Structure 1
Amino acid sequence: MVSRAERYLAHLDRLSGGREPHFFPVESTKQGLQGVTEIVYGDLPDGLLTALTYGLSLAEHPDWQHGSPELCLSVNSSNVVWAHAVGFLAEQLRGACPFSYGSTIDFGERIVRESEMTAFCVFAPLALGRDDYLGIDVGVSGHEGHDVINIQGMYPIHEVERQFINEHGLEAFWKSDWDPTDVLRCPAI
């Protein structure tokens, strides 16, 4: 029998063309929940570090009516600490944060040493097409109900941008002149 995790990984294998990712486990701090796994691809798409999570969707949140999220980050960097930051947030905030479009998350410090960014915002994933990130059926035999994962994009941002999004909304920020993959950029606001 194929597990839920195996169905999700098969989906990612199809999207990556069978490229072998690196797996980094994040130990669970939530009683009764397995840990989170960071699934990291170097240079996919070209020049970007892309990291996805598995394990966030094992939790429950009242806002998750049409599927539960996993996270995806694509940045112009080779520093795997970006992936670790997203895995850490997925594990720490599962069940508490909805990770819905427009959500902002204050990391509380620089995410990586070489970047001034200290926060993330959530929106559609940059590196995936709509059919590839919404409605991923991971249900297994014997599971009651609908088991769907929706992959949410995580975008590193500056604190001033996080505050702007919280005051004016994600759409106003998204229309500004910025490169969502550039982790060394100046604030767009």
Structure 2
Amino acid sequence: MTERPAKPDHATHTDRSTETDTGLRAELYLRGDTHRGLGAREVVGRANRLEANGVLGESMVAGTWHRCHTRTEDWRSEAMEAYEEFEAWAEANEFSLEPGFQQRTRSFIGMDDVEEVVVFPVVALALYDADDLRAVFPCTDGDRTHTVESALAAFERGDEEWLTQFDPVTVEHAGPRLDAAGAVAD
């Protein structure tokens, strides 16, 4: 078993709760085994319309990921890097990425090996403003789950206040980590 290096500090907390929400970049991440379905097409279409209407500065399918990634084998993958960035945001906001992202163990019949895996959601939405990760969906605050659907609906109804409930964190990248080749189009 390969030892994983210490988790890098992907984010630092930034208090910008009073700033306006201009120039937001919406990155959609789709699970590779389901991204051609009607639900994914609808989400991509809604994000594209929000961009066309000037609500979002940019929207994109940032990439696709596999259903499961192991912490020991996939620690360098772009999907795990994105997950760890999202996890740092959730921790800074006292949110959880579950149940959308699930951490669990899996084993194989006839083998003693047990692996820790992260199960990725069918669709995830990350909102960036320059170097800040503003929010990740789906997420939960313990009482309520904030879905990709609820985030898009808030933008569609023009609710500018709902995003202020999330504290942004500064991140180390300026664009998507994953390859979006073959992703669903509007």
TM-score with structure 2 setting the length? 0.26
Which protein has the bigger strand share?
2
Higher relative contact order (Cα pairs below 8 Å, separated by 6+ residues): 2
TM-score with structure 1 setting the length? 0.26
